Amino acid sequence: MATTPVSRGLHVAIIMDGNGRWAQSRGLPRTAGHRAGAEAVRRVVEAAPRLGIATLTLYAFSADNWQRPQAEVQTLLRLLYEYLMAETSRCVAHGVGISVIGRRDRLPRALREAIEAAEISTAGGTALHLRLAVDYSAREALFRAACRFYKATELSHESFARVLGEVNHDGARDVDLLVRTGGEQRLSDFLLWESAYAELYFTPRTWPEFDAAALEAAVREYHARERRFGRIQDAAAS
């Protein structure tokens, strides 16, 4: 895993979709797909720094995922706990800082403690900022931030973004590239404020099939696009 610090690198966010379909297409239980998805996380985290990615936000567990069958929910939360327990020391060794965004009050106590321990242990990481969205809803985060913002003395986009960061337990700059695997083409309540000008990249490849080459292809596509942020080129304006 690369350990070279990346200054002002990309912020890439990924909706990791397709675990269940990957498993079912192979005659396996959905839980097998989630375990294969955890391996994909390891591959992508390892590849990210060398591709110029400074911040990587992964949609690990949405607020809507509580509606899934209890056994599947327990599997997802257990896999997250196992990931943190197994990977924290590796992240420390390779300069990866971990933070978790989203609600924490509904998570099992052991998972909350693992999150806090991982965040503290990896706080010095400079090669990559790995953000895991857990029990996360962008709409809820925006609502909770708006409820706090009325007390703010500075009314600006920047001050609202700071309040939103407080609600999420972690702030990060805007998303440059948002990737969704699994063939669906929607944001699913993920980083709505931060993705206002993100480049969107959808792939039919399911998350367990996603690897370093697939991430590199998404980043290459991002660099090939022209980003104007509402402006027009000087030549076109003349």
pLDDT at 216: 98
Query: What SS3 class is residue 177?
Result: strand
Span 28-37, mean pLDDT?
95
Mean pLDDT of the chain: 91
- Per-residue confidence at 168, pLDDT binned at 50, 70, 90? confident
Strands ordered across the beta sheet of 177-180: 96-101, 128-136, 53-62, 10-15, 177-180, 199-202
pLDDT above 50: residue 207: yes
Is 65 designated active site?
yes
Domains and CATH numbers, the chain: 10-137+174-222 (3.40.1180.10)
Catalytic residue among 19, 64, 65, 234: 65
pLDDT above 60: residue 5: no
Question: Phi and psi at residue 163, in whole multiples of 5°?
Answer: -65, -40
Amino acid residing at 39: E
Amino acid residing at 8: R
Catalytic residue among 17, 170, 176, 189: 17
Span 5-14, mean pLDDT?
78
- Per-residue confidence at 4, pLDDT binned at 50, 70, 90? very low
pLDDT at 60: 97
DSSP 63: G
Residue 84, CA distances (Å) to 24, 30, 218 in order = 27, 21, 26
Span 202-227, mean pLDDT?
96
pLDDT at 1: 37
Please state at what angle helix 138-149 crosses helix 157-168, rounded to 10 degrees.
120
* Residues constituting the chain: 238
- In this predicted model, what pLDDT tens digit does every residue of 59-111 receive, in sequence order? 999 999 999 999 999 999 999 999 999 999 999 999 999 999 999 999 999 99
Helices (H) and strands (E) in the chain, counts: 8, 6
Is 19 designated active site?
no
pTM of the model: 0.89
